[in-house]
């Protein structure tokens, strides 16, 4: 099996002067050497391998070939699929649908992990190959100098391959970390760090669909007056502080920012009475906090929230938000700083 490449030009050969026919012949020779059918997908991968040796696709192919094995069709499909996913992710516009970006990110993570495994195996094999050759070289007598030189050359090539594969591993790890971070950012509210609506929906998938839970929706009382009097920067700091207070009081239950000054809390395995105690305690803890305007030192009046709580199931939680929101509206009408549980109003 042949193993080795040289940097060549782009498809038209304009940069290196390499004719297109020569590149095409090189690609077809690569496919023939690997016993791969000359399909459009395989040709594309072969072209990437011959013309862009520093790409993740080419390095991943190297990861397979360095083990001494030929490239299987399923491995070729994995590598080309990861390449396409990477191109789509890097070229996606900010206006692209968040759901589509999430699916692409998930696919790319799967592909990069697969390539990581291939390259890891190759690093292990090439490393051991070099160590074995070094041990054999120590046993060769002086009169066998030509053989020694040959083995020395093989060791050097093995070391180069190992270094290249280690570099590929680092690049794949960095890509995987970037995609994971982007995925996490897509599920988090940028101001508070809490789960956003998409993160809330993701949390609903983490348990049995028929599992009972309590759902509460909370809204900061008289928040518009704070915004109108002190400005949006102060309002944002208030939202961030309230979010931190509610999350701390309601831990380990999931708190998400629903939008504006509204928060939704998922409480697994609790009764309505227990859910009320959790939310009421969170409201009391919030009102005990002293808020002061950073620029002027002016103290704000104690901050409270109103809330509505319902019992539901995971599969019906999104629908239950409407019922909880109606209870929240009634709590606001009742004078604020109030928690409504199902059809019973309880002063917080």
**145-183 pLDDT per residue, tens:** 555 565 566 666 666 666 666 666 666 666 666 666 666
Output 74 or 114, whichever has higher pLDDT.
74
- Higher-scoring residue by pLDDT: 148, 42: 42
pLDDT in the model for residue 328: 95
Lowest model confidence (mean pLDDT) among 92-96, 102-106, 161-165: 92-96
Q: What's the pLDDT score for residue 348? A: 41
Class of domain 197-347: alpha beta
- Residues carrying an active site annotation: 261
Least confident of 4-8, 204-208, 234-238, 290-294: 4-8
Percent of the chain surpassing pLDDT 90? 34
**Distance of alpha carbon 34 from alpha carbon 72, whole angstroms:** 8
Q: What is the pLDDT of residues 274-331, one digit of tens each?
A: 999 999 999 999 999 998 888 888 889 999 999 999 999 888 888 899 999 999 999 9
Domains of the chain, by residue range, sit at: 20-186, 197-347
Whether pLDDT at 7 is above 50: no
Q: What is the pLDDT of residue 26?
A: 86
Output 221 or 76, whichever has higher pLDDT. 221
Q: What is the mean pLDDT of residues 118-138?
A: 57
pLDDT above 50 (res 347): no
Q: What local confidence, expressed as pLDDT, does residue 215 receive?
A: 95
CB-facing half-sphere around the CA of 89: CA atoms within 13 A: 24
Chain centroid to CA 227: 34
pLDDT computed for residue 60 by the predictor? 78
Considering the chain, what percentage of its residues have pLDDT values greater than 70?
63
Q: So what's the pLDDT on residue 205?
A: 86
Average pLDDT over residues 199-226: 89
Lowest-confidence region among 106-115, 229-238, 278-287: 106-115
Give the pLDDT confidence score for residue 4 in this predicted structure: 39
Q: Which of 145-154, 191-200, 203-212, 293-302 has the lowest mean pLDDT?
A: 145-154
Q: Specify the pLDDT at position 249.
A: 96
What does the pLDDT read at residue 1? 33
Q: Tell whether the model's pLDDT for residue 81 goes beyond 90.
A: no
Give the pLDDT score at 207.
Answer: 79
| pLDDT for 99 beyond 80 | no
- The answer to whether 234 and 223 have CB atoms below 8 angstroms apart is no
Q: Which residue has the higher pLDDT, 163 or 5?
A: 163
Higher-pLDDT residue of 239 and 57 is 239
Residue 120's pLDDT band (cuts 50, 70, 90): low
Quick one: pLDDT at residue 69?
Answer: 76
């Amino acid at each position: 099996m042949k193993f080795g490449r040289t940097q060549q030009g782009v498809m038209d050969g304009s940069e290196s002067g390499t004719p297109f026919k020569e590149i095409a012949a090189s690609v077809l020779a690569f496919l023939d050497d690997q016993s791969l059918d000359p399909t459009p997908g395989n040709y594309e991968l072969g072209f990437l391998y011959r013309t862009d040796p520093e790409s993740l696709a080419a390095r991943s192919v190297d990861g397979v070939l360095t083990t001494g094995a030929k490239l299987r069709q399923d491995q070729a499909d994995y590598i080309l699929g990861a390449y396409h996913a990477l191109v789509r992710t890097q070229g996606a516009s900010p206006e692209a649908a968040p759901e589509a970006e999430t699916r692409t990110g998930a696919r790319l993570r799967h592909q990069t992990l697969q390539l990581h495994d291939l390259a890891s195996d190759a690093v292990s094999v090439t490393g051991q190959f070099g160590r074995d050759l070094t041990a054999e070289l120590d046993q060769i007598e002086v009169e066998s100098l030509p053989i020694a030189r040959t083995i020395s050359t093989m060791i050097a090539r093995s070391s180069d391959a190992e270094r290249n594969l280690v570099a590929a591993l680092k690049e794949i790890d960095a890509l995987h970390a970037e995609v994971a971070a982007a995925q996490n950012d897509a599920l988090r509210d940028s101001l508070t760090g809490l789960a956003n609506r998409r993160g809330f929906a993701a949390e609903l998938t983490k348990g049995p669909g028929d599992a009972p839970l309590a759902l509460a929706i909370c809204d900061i009382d008289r928040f518009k007056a704070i915004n109108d009097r002190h400005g949006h920067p102060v309002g944002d700091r208030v939202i961030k502080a309230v979010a931190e207070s509610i999350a701390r009081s309601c831990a380990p239950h999931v708190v998400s920012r629903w939008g504006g000054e509204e928060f939704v809390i998922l409480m697994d395995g609790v009764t309505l009475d227990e859910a009320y105690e959790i939310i009421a305690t969170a409201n009391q803890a919030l009102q005990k906090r002293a808020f002061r305007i950073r620029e002027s030192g002016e103290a704000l009046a104690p901050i409270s929230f109103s809330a509505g709580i319902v019992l539901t199931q995971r599969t019906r939680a999104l629908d239950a938000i409407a019922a909880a929101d109606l209870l929240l509206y009634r709590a606001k009408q009742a004078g604020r700083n109030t928690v409504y549980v199902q059809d019973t109003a309880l002063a917080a």
